[in-house]
Amino acid sequence: MNLEKIKSDIEAAVPGCNVQIVVNGSPSGQHSLLLERQHVFEIAKFLQDDSELHLDYCSNVTGVDWLDTETSEKVKVQRLVDGVEQEVEEIRKTRSPGYLEAVYHLYSMEKKHGPLVLRQRTENRTDQINLPSLTPIWRSAEFQEREIFDLYGIIFEGHPDLRRILMWDEFEDHPMRKDYIEPNDYEYEPTPHDAVLEKSMQH
């Protein structure tokens, strides 16, 4: 599937939207489209209804956790050295906040083509973790969005039944997050004392 053409078709069909191509450098080379949340629903509807694309089946939805990153670069600055202004090299660090992603794989059963990979991205990993649910467009996304909600913590707005699907309701945190720390013990299945002690010491 020609991503450049699909990108331009989307932008023509949904005025004001901004679609980015995310390049995948792995051997699979499966590039994807990153969508802005304010236009996601309109774009999804276009992809489903367009006579050429007719992407009528969502085969897979998965979550991705991207931690905060820190990059370093060398910069030249003017500094006083022994009373004389000189150009010196310094290391400047930049911190970028992490985010969560929901990644959708779409196919056309009628046209027999795909996948088209779509990405939605949250603002951060803490308090701005809401994304529009695409279950109203592709019903097969329902349980998979619930799984992402459960394991990664993304809140899908407009989902018909957003609740945990693998963990119990009282469970705290989201086990697929990269910074998740497993509790020392579980109330439903106590572990041997020595194993609990070892975990406690590690934490």
Residue 185 included in any domain? no
Residue 197 included in any domain? no
Which residue is it, tokens 């407009």? Answer: 158
Residue 133 included in any domain? yes
More confident residue, 185 or 11: 11
End-to-end CA distance of the chain: 48
Side-chain-side CA neighbours of residue 139 (13 Å)? 0
Residue 114 included in any domain? yes
Is residue 188 over pLDDT 60?
Answer: no
The residues, ordered by sequence, that sit 6+ positions from 86 with a Cβ below 8 Å of its Cβ are 78, 79, 80
Is residue 171 over pLDDT 80?
Answer: yes
Work out the pLDDT band at 131, boundaries 50, 70, 90. very high
* Mean pLDDT confidence for 151-157: 98
Residue 102 included in any domain? yes
Residue 59 included in any domain? yes
Torsion of Cα atoms, 165 then 168 then 169 then 170, to 10° = -150
Task: For residue 63, give the CATH number of its domain.
Answer: 3.30.460.80
pTM recorded for the entire structure = 0.83
Residue 20 included in any domain? yes
pLDDT in tens, 12-44: 999 999 999 999 988 888 899 999 999 999 999
Q: Cα–Cα distances in Å, from 75 out to 78, 82, 89, 90?
A: 10, 20, 6, 5
Work out the pLDDT band at 187, boundaries 50, 70, 90. low
Residue 125 · residue 116 · CB < 8 Å: no
More confident residue, 62 or 76: 62
Instruction: Please tell me the total count of domains within the chain.
Output: 1
Structural domain containing residue 17 = 3-67+98-166
Above pLDDT 70, what percent of the chain? 92
Residue 109 included in any domain? yes
Q: What is the overall mean pLDDT for the chain?
A: 90
The residues, ordered by sequence, that sit 6+ positions from 181 with a Cβ below 8 Å of its Cβ are 203
pLDDT in tens, 88-111: 888 888 888 999 999 999 999 999
Question: Measuring CA to CA, which residue among 161, 26, 156 is closest to residue 101?
Answer: 156
